[in-house]
Structures are given as C-alpha cells and as structure tokens.
C-alpha cells in the first residue's frame, strides 16, 4: 500500500499514469513523450509502476504495452476511505460545538 503511494509520488511516474489513463501505450511511445529524460529512465519508472500494482504489462511482439491496473487505484481509494473514517468528523464537530457553549458561559 505504502509502495503504491511512493510509486505515485514522482512527477514522471505521475505523468506516465496520466498518459496511459485512457489509452494503453507501448514503452517506446511513453518514453517518446519525455524530452530531457532518457528511455532507460522511463523504463525504470515503468518497472516501479508495474511492481506497485498501478500498471499492467502485456507483450505484443517485440513491444511491451502498458495499461492502467484499476485494482491498484481501487485499493488506494479504499485505504484512504478507511484511513480517516467520516464518522469521526461528526464526533469531532459535536465536541467542538459543546466546547464553544462552555466558553460562552464563562
């Protein structure tokens, strides 16, 4: 899970995900969109994204096609939903309300 977050937290990898978000792309196509960064570097990023579960890869001849792995994003969403339970917001709001009341009575 934390691995997934770390995979997201790099601007190049973030861009890659934006790129393949709708249409799957080959490693070469992806690398072609980056200027000022070499192909091997992109390849390494693809490896990290794959390992983290945010991308999947399939082979097509000599090319490797990368596409979004929805499950990876779903897991992350679920984690965030569970992390900060909205029910706690209500409890906190109630607590603050009663505190204000007490202060006013002083």
Binding of DNA by 43 (CB under 7 A): yes
Phi, psi of 85, deg, nearest 5: -65, 120
Scanning 14-22, 27-35, 68-76, 77-85 for contacts with DNA by CB under 7 A, the matching segment is 27-35
Mention every residue, 6+ apart, whose C-beta is less than 8 A from residue 94: none
* In the complex, minimum distance from the CB of residue 77 to DNA, in angstroms, rounded to a whole number: 22
Q: Write out the DSSP string of 5-46.
A: HHHHSSHHHHHHHHHHTTS-EEHHHHHHT-SSS-HHHHHHHH
Binding of DNA by 18 (CB under 7 A): no
- Dihedral sign of CA atoms 84, 85, 89, 91 in order: negative
Binding of DNA by 75 (CB under 7 A): no
Encoded tokens for 79: 């984690």
Closer to its own copies by Cβ: residue 44 or 78: 78
Which partner, DNA, its own copies, none, binds residue 59 by CB below 5 to 8 Å per kind? DNA
Q: Which residues bind DNA (CB under 7 A)?
A: 6, 9-10, 12-13, 26-29, 31, 36-41, 43-48, 57, 59, 61-64
């Amino acid at each position: 899970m934390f691995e997934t977050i770390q995979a997201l937290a790099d601007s190049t990898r973030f861009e890659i995900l934006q790129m393949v978000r709708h249409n799957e792309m080959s490693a070469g196509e992806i690398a072609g969109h980056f200027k000022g960064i070499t192909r091997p570097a992109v390849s390494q990023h693809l490896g990290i994204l794959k390992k983290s579960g945010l991308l999947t890869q399939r082979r097509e001849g000599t090319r490797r096609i990368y596409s979004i792995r929805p499950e990876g994003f779903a897991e992350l969403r679920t984690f965030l939903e569970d992390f900060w339970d909205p029910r706690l917001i209500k409890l906190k709001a109630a607590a603050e309300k009663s505190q204000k009341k007490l202060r006013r009575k002083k």
